[in-house]
A and B are shown apart, each in its own frame.
Chain A
Amino acid sequence: MGLFSAAVSITRYRVDGKIENEVTETVAKGLKKNAISEIDEDTVEKGSGWTSFENPFQPAFEGSSFVYGNLFVFSLRVDRKSIPTKLLKKHVTLKTSKRLAKTRRHFLSKDEKETLREKVTAELAIRVPATPHIYDLVWDYEKSAVCFFSNLRSANEELETLFKRSFNLSLIRIFPYTAADLQSDLTDPERDILLGLSPTHFSN
């Protein structure tokens, strides 16, 4: 979801800090280092990383391909494999029966069950293709502002973690308190008043 969509959702962030020098090169380095890797042939169920805004299935951050005027524009991609519960249950049941027969026992311990379940999940994960979820991002570096095109909690948390890891900069989400504290030019006495506010009741 993002710039190409007819209707979008936006979460706003303030970027805490600046890159010391070679801004575009440093951003490119962070993007390349944390670019999405395909997980279709892997046993993992989830993968995430940066991808190109224009071509999200072939991430490339060469040169200034992510620079548009004074903006950095790229995307967060989260790939998830969804293993149907009934399919997992079927394979766990079959493997459990096989193990019990082989060991001539009547039940497995809690740890054995958990290990078996993890093994079956990993085996199925190789066979299930991942579904990509793509969220665009516009970073106005000069204004230390990021617009992230999703309100989904999981996508926002993924973004905050990956952004910090990639660029060593923290994202501060803009919500009522941070908007008041960071964007309202309050003096210290005004900030004290803000901290002491309590809800107003508009009913009589």
Chain B
Amino acid sequence: MLDLSLAYHRYRFLGDEFLTWLWYLVETDQNAFRVVDPDCLTLEIGNRIVLENRRGKSIERITIKGDDAGLEEGKLALKKGALVTELAFIFKSGEHQWQFSLKGESLNVSSFKAPGPTLPQSSEEMEAFVLDKAQQFNKILSFLEILYKTFIQVRINAKWSSKITPAIKKWVAPVGHP
């Protein structure tokens, strides 16, 4: 294995590309998420998108916040060469939903809200509470782990350049939208 400190910086772009790819799937192929977790009704973009454009001399950072996060504005930034560095998601399953943000650079999860057990009222209820809570978190962490594994398999395949990248470019800037 490479030196981890070097690898962290050298391959951070994989995390950013993973987020961009996820956003693309959210809008074009919800079925991909149901293949990973049959319980997934929908995966939606949440209320925060952070993008960075590192192609110029300085880094331009764009943060889009709010319940009606401006996805078009985000796509415009993508079109200008930015990458998604942080993205909020809503995972819906039945009547429940999980909300979380994922950071591309580190794959750290933040603002993670899971449905779930009410606070235990007694020490007897504690074990059930902990196991239930851990399971609720683990559902999303496993989901993300399998999605990332799928992304890596796609990313190292020749189809990434020949099919996926052109499809994402087309999604970012549809025909007729200069």
Q: Which A residues form the contact surface with B (CB < 8 A)?
A: 3-4, 6-12, 53-54, 68-69, 71, 73, 138, 147, 151, 172-181, 183-186, 190, 193-195, 197-204
Contact assessment for B15 and A202 in the assembled complex, using a CB-CB cutoff below 8 Å: no
Q: Which B residues form the contact surface with A (CB < 8 A)?
A: 1-2, 4, 7-8, 10-15, 17-18, 20, 55, 78-81, 83, 103-113, 119, 123, 126-127, 129-131, 133-134, 137, 141, 145, 148-149, 152-153, 155-156, 160, 165, 168-169, 172-173
Contact assessment for A202 and B127 in the assembled complex, using a CB-CB cutoff below 8 Å: no
A199–B113 Cα distance when bound, in Å, is 32
Name the 5 nearest CB pairs between A and B, nearest first: A176-B15, A177-B7, A176-B14, A177-B11, A199-B13
Contact assessment for A194 and B156 in the assembled complex, using a CB-CB cutoff below 8 Å: yes
A193–B152 Cα distance when bound, in Å, is 11
- With A147-B141, A183-B148: A176-B112 Cβ-Cβ less than 8 Å: no
The one of A7, A175, A186 in contact with B112, judged by C-beta atoms closer than 8 angstroms, is A7
The one of A68, A181, A184, A185 in contact with B130, judged by C-beta atoms closer than 8 angstroms, is A68
Contact assessment for A202 and B78 in the assembled complex, using a CB-CB cutoff below 8 Å: yes
A197–B133 Cα distance when bound, in Å, is 37
Contact assessment for B106 and A151 in the assembled complex, using a CB-CB cutoff below 8 Å: yes
- With A147-B137, A197-B11: A177-B149 Cβ-Cβ less than 8 Å: no
A8–B131 Cα distance when bound, in Å, is 16
A179–B124 Cα distance when bound, in Å, is 37
- With A184-B152, A197-B11: A175-B107 Cβ-Cβ less than 8 Å: yes
Contact assessment for A197 and B155 in the assembled complex, using a CB-CB cutoff below 8 Å: yes
A151–B106 Cα distance when bound, in Å, is 9
- With A174-B107, A177-B7: A12-B113 Cβ-Cβ less than 8 Å: no
Looking at B110, B148, B156, the one whose CB has the most chain A CB atoms below 10 A away is: B156
Looking at the assembled complex, report how far the CB atom of A151 sits from the nearest CB atom of chain B, in whole angstroms: 5
A105–B96 Cα distance when bound, in Å, is 74
- With A68-B130, A175-B8, A202-B168: A10-B14 Cβ-Cβ less than 8 Å: no
A193–B161 Cα distance when bound, in Å, is 13
Contact assessment for A183 and B149 in the assembled complex, using a CB-CB cutoff below 8 Å: yes
Given contacts A10-B141, A202-B168, 17 further A-B contacts (CB under 8 A): A3-B130, A3-B134, A9-B112, A12-B141, A68-B126, A147-B137, A151-B108, A172-B4, A176-B14, A176-B18, A177-B2, A180-B148, A181-B1, A184-B153, A203-B172, A204-B169, A204-B173
